[in-house]
Structure 1
């Protein structure tokens, strides 16, 4: 049965979409921030009080990496092609860790080459479409987890290490621990856990797969769970931190896992649980259904997902609510006006979508 979605609020993006990446709502309830990365700056707008809008000068254009911001909005970290750099709102570099170059160009691939500055490759075509890593703050803001191209010149990891996972002191940039994540990434995304000592790392290797890593730090060593080498994209962590939501690399199966051991507690196969789009022709076998690479936990026992990409050839895309307990039948969401964005859950009973230069926040009406 369809479920009606109600609009909570509409937030204007800080920057025009023609000049910036899509805005994101990040942070926990009570400390929510709207962030958006432009070529020259990362804009952070506090949504729950605080100091209003903060602008962090960017050390390189947005095509050359990813960025993240501390939970209190006081520090931004840019994960670039050659370095991870922490910057304060005044543009002062708090710390920087240089690492192997992410470019696949002939001069850098497999060489462990390290650049000292962005200017060294700013005009090089091979570096414009470099692979990349990412960084994420722990829930308390004291740690930065960083996925980099290795190996670094110092430390215990061997020269055969391709990608490294670091846990860094957010205050001074000192690495506490380094680990070989046994992957060769094209890109990645950190997904934080309420426990600062835990973090998810969703890795994309292009057509080769999507290895998922879950990290636990005991204060000395970083213990990495590999999820039996399954190709899974991590979509979210439940508000309690007890469960994870994933979609497999082929996009046909959504799953909820127990965080403590990775065991699967619920699954939804797109072809068998989602009805065909109402505008497809009867018996059309060229309209496969598959999940989007987006979603998350609306609350502890409800997740949201979309089939926007597989629906787009037939008509308006669809979003689905799925209960992790009781009945598992997907509930299609109905909106008061047409939507085209993919949903990102916020864990407090709401989710958001980006539509042009606006961010719409929704809940069940």
Structure 2
């Protein structure tokens, strides 16, 4: 398991496999639309170096917060909107992949770049035809990376690239990428309108099956949705979250057979919100107690 980390307002906490806190890194406060600050982050294995983005740069720092390198992204323009830079390490920690939402930052075209993780030198730069607010990335064992770009009400785009490989656009604008199976033969998406969950073959993207709100036992006319938060508990099981809106908002966690789409059942657990649970792919998951303590279940 890669070192587990979470970002609080002004620091990043790093935990070992037993979820014992082993290190904290100071970072600028979270970026907001009104005030610039820190954005996406990732930690090296075994969690002794932090790489994070701000509104204008990507930095690598040591445990004391001393800067190892900095890659400048440029100043945001006067017509900037909500733009959140994401960073992720390749599976072997050799490259830092950065989704840069330049269009919304009013500084040019969106970019997906790869930096040398040790030196910060630019290794690849891809221009994307997106106008994204932010992105989420999923590293693959062979060095490739998957990227979801969120364009707000205009939908989402999914890409696949690697060292020396131009990005492949899967051609959808209405699917949210939510996870890759541990054996990297499948990936899971949720519709932009939250009406269904789909499992796709990797790398082709062919739909293997879909699961709808009705499959979870709810009337399709109800105000019930599938959250953009499923993930692979292991190679056989997906955890999905169904959210409802009536007198008060509620959400429930279900397990889904990752091979057939059959609903295994409701998990009967409580989380602080719909997005708190993080499946780790090895049969365990992480949630947060009401006191802020992380638990691996």
TM-score (ref. length: structure 2): 0.86
Q: How does 1:315-330 map to 2 (within 5 A)?
A: 316-326=250-260, 328-330=262-264
**What corresponds to 1:177 in structure 2?**
124
- Hey, which of these two has a bigger chunk of helix by percent? 1
- CA contact 1:251–1:292 (8 Å) conserved in 2: yes
Instruction: Report the alpha carbon displacement of residue 302 of structure 1 after superposing the two structures with TM.
Output: 1.1
1:37 and 2:7 correspond: yes
**What corresponds to 1:15 in structure 2?**
none
Paired residue secondary structure (2:126):
strand
Instruction: Report the alpha carbon displacement of residue 269 of structure 1 after superposing the two structures with TM.
Output: 1.5
- CA contact 1:242–1:258 (8 Å) conserved in 2: yes
**What corresponds to 1:223 in structure 2?**
166
1:71 and 2:14 correspond: no
Q: 1:352 to 1:313 in 2, by over 3 A?
A: farther
**What corresponds to 1:346 in structure 2?**
280
Paired residue secondary structure (2:153):
helix
Paired residue secondary structure (2:267):
strand
- CA contact 1:181–1:213 (8 Å) conserved in 2: no
2:145 corresponds to which of 190, 195, 199: 199
Paired residue secondary structure (1:131):
coil
Paired residue secondary structure (1:207):
helix
Instruction: Report the alpha carbon displacement of residue 340 of structure 1 after superposing the two structures with TM.
Output: 4.4
Paired residue secondary structure (2:224):
coil
**What corresponds to 2:30 in structure 1?**
62
Q: Which runs of 5+ in 1 are unaligned?
A: 1-27, 110-128, 152-158, 277-282
Paired residue secondary structure (1:145):
strand
2:234 corresponds to which of 299, 303, 307: 299
Instruction: Report the alpha carbon displacement of residue 205 of structure 1 after superposing the two structures with TM.
Output: 1.2
Paired residue secondary structure (2:42):
strand
1:78 and 1:97 map into 2 onto residues whose CA distance is: 11
2:187 and 2:220 map into 1 onto residues whose CA distance is: 34
**What corresponds to 1:83 in structure 2?**
57
Instruction: Report the alpha carbon displacement of residue 49 of structure 1 after superposing the two structures with TM.
Output: 9.4
Instruction: Report the alpha carbon displacement of residue 326 of structure 1 after superposing the two structures with TM.
Output: 4.3
Per-residue deviation, residues 183-232 of structure 1 (Å, max 9, x unmatched): 1111112222232x211112111111111122232xxx232121113322
1:315 and 1:184 map into 2 onto residues whose CA distance is: 31
**What corresponds to 2:96 in structure 1?**
144
Q: 1:312 to 1:37 in 2, by over 3 A?
A: farther
Instruction: Report the alpha carbon displacement of residue 314 of structure 1 after superposing the two structures with TM.
Output: 5.4
1:288 and 1:205 map into 2 onto residues whose CA distance is: 24
- CA contact 2:254–2:267 (8 Å) conserved in 1: yes
Count of aligned positions = 286
Q: 1:92 to 1:284 in 2, by over 3 A?
A: closer
Q: 1:358 to 1:313 in 2, by over 3 A?
A: farther
2:183 corresponds to which of 240, 250, 257: 240
Q: 1:182 to 1:259 in 2, by over 3 A?
A: same
**What corresponds to 1:268 in structure 2?**
211
**What corresponds to 1:18 in structure 2?**
none
1:166 and 1:326 map into 2 onto residues whose CA distance is: 36
Of the two, which has the highest radius of gyration? 1
Give the aligned CA root-mean-square deviation in angstroms: 2.7
1:176 and 1:347 map into 2 onto residues whose CA distance is: 30
Q: Which runs of 5+ in 2 are unaligned?
A: 32-36
Per-residue deviation, residues 47-90 of structure 1 (Å, max 9, x unmatched): 3599x6222221x2222322111132122111111111111112
**What corresponds to 1:334 in structure 2?**
268
- CA contact 1:204–1:210 (8 Å) conserved in 2: yes
